[in-house]
Structures are given as C-alpha cells and as structure tokens.
Amino acid sequence: MNGVVVIDKPAGMTSHDVVAGIRRLLGIKKVGHAGTLDPLATGVLPICINEATKLMPFFDDHRKDYQATLRLGLQTDTLDRDGRIIAEQTPNVTPAEVAAVLQTFVGKITQIPPRYSAVKFQGRPLYAWARKGIDIEALPRTVEIFRIRVEKIALPEATFHVSCSKGTYIRSLCADVGQELGCGACLNELRRTASGPFTEKSALLLDGLAPERQQQLLTERLIRLADALPGLPAIEIDETLQASLRRGCQPAAAVMMGYDIPFLAGGDMIKFVTAGRDLVAVAKALYPSDEMPSVAEKAQVFEILRVFNEN
C-alpha cells in the first residue's frame, strides 16, 4: 500500500496522533504527515504511506490556505486560545481598522515563530524548551502572505481567509495584527482548507467511524504516488530505464534520446513514470530540454532525487 491520503484533522489531536492512529488501523509502520497542524487546528493534513514518505520533501514548498479567526484584546503565551492568558483588554478599534491592518501583512513579511512551536533549537523543538520554563526566541524568518480576504468582523473577533507560503505561523500573524492595533490578539480558530493540490473537498473525516469503515475509506481514497505530484510533467519510460534508475543510475543524454521530453528549463522538476502511471523517480533537469540533444552523449542530463518501488 503506497500513496497519500488527505485527512480532515479534528481539533484536539496532534498531527502525530493522526499518524499513530493510521499506523494502528493499517498495521503499517512507515507513515508520516506533510505539514504540521497544531492541536487547535482542523482541516487538511496529507498523510504519506510507505513509499509516499519519500515524497514529503517535495511537499514542503506547497502553498497553504487557511480560514482563521483572531480574538482581539486577548494575549496568551502560546499565541492561541489554548495558552495561558498574559494580558487582556477591551479592544478600542473599528472593523474598518482591523480590515485595513490585516491587508498590511500581504506580501513578504518577517515573522518570529511562536515559543510553543515545532521549530528546532539545538535539536529540540521550541515547545520542549518552553515547557521546561526555558524561554528561547527563534530567529526571525521571511515568509510570504499571498492573499488575505476578510470574511467577517464581529468585534472582538475577525474571521479571514489567508493564502501563504510554507513556514507561516497564523498564530504569529494574529499576534502581530493585535500588536499593530495596540490591543493584542491571539488565534481563536484555525482550519487549513488546502495544502498545495490537496483540498478539504478530498479530505477524510474519520472521527467517529468504526475501524472497519475507516480502513475501507483509507484504501478507497488513497492517491497514487504520481498523482500526488500533479504539477510535475511526466516522462513515460521503458522497463530497461526503469531498472537502471532503480539501480541508482543517473540518466545520460544518450539514454534519453528517443523519449518525449516536455519543455523544461534547467532546474525544473519532472517525474519518470511507467506505462501504467506508476512513479519510478523524481528528478531535476540539469539542462533546458531544447539543449539536451546537443550535449555530449555521456553527459548527465537529469539528477535523480528520489527513486520509488511501488511493487
């Protein structure tokens, strides 16, 4: 069993809890998640099974979409409603001011990850240090907010949709908005509606179902490896090249002659697939595709990044 299944994570569970539950359900040890969701959050959590765990690095750059509700006038040590309250006041702001400040965060911004987060310091997540009473501030990082759309403002709460780059903490965004407004704020609710090509429309809500039904749905809704990377162009290869790639060979120009290579720039990613659309490898083009016919026959033209065996 190899593939990706999109889980609709319920509130109150960690991403690790979801992984552990699927391991038990399927009796499979090799299971991982792509993109951590805090216990408070719900929504899209891609789960990779067996060979699909090799795909996880390629999901890192996926854009994320969220629906978030911030609570103005309330500050906590975790930057969300589950934390210890450290300050509270009645916000003296208008809905128009809140909406305007939210828009100022669109674009590339600098964020400091929350002290209670999975960001590592000396090999341990920040939350582990914080729980021991050791206050460590993570280094600022640059993230990008692509779009913010306000849905509803009913003070002291504001609900909005945000589309952002990897590494963006919506908790930090809410706290920064509160700081800009001068009243403080924390995250009250969060739902991830999409992670790259994976959306809430295809997400499975397993909570409350019998184990047999959960197993059935996980099997039925499993996304094949090649289909989990819909944005990558595919090159269909014969059995000889399949075997060669799985032995660790890097394809030279002479080997690729005769294959239909899509338009590629140097550095573009592609996937090698079988006639039956099984994923064989993910690779990076070392030359633009229009230059490949003119390079030396023995020159390596693709760098194989990951090899897969779906049998």
Angle between helices 211-220 and 15-26 (to 10 degrees): 100
Torsion of the alpha carbons at 173, 68, 117 and 60, rounded to the nearest 10: -90
The rounded distance, in Å, linking the Cα atoms of 85 and 248 is 55
Active site residue 278: no
The rounded distance, in Å, linking the Cα atoms of 45 and 35 is 7
The rounded distance, in Å, linking the Cα atoms of 5 and 15 is 14
The rounded distance, in Å, linking the Cα atoms of 69 and 90 is 17
**Residue 145 contacts residue 168 (beta carbons within 8 Å):** yes
Exactly one of 8, 17, 38, 227 is catalytic; name it: 38
The rounded distance, in Å, linking the Cα atoms of 50 and 246 is 17
Per DSSP, helices labelled H in the chain are: 15-26, 56-59, 95-103, 126-131, 170-181, 211-220, 239-246, 253-256
Residues written for the chain: 311
Q: What three-state secondary structure class fits 146?
A: strand
Across the strands, what pairs with 204?
7
The rounded distance, in Å, linking the Cα atoms of 308 and 225 is 9
Which residue numbers are catalytic? 38
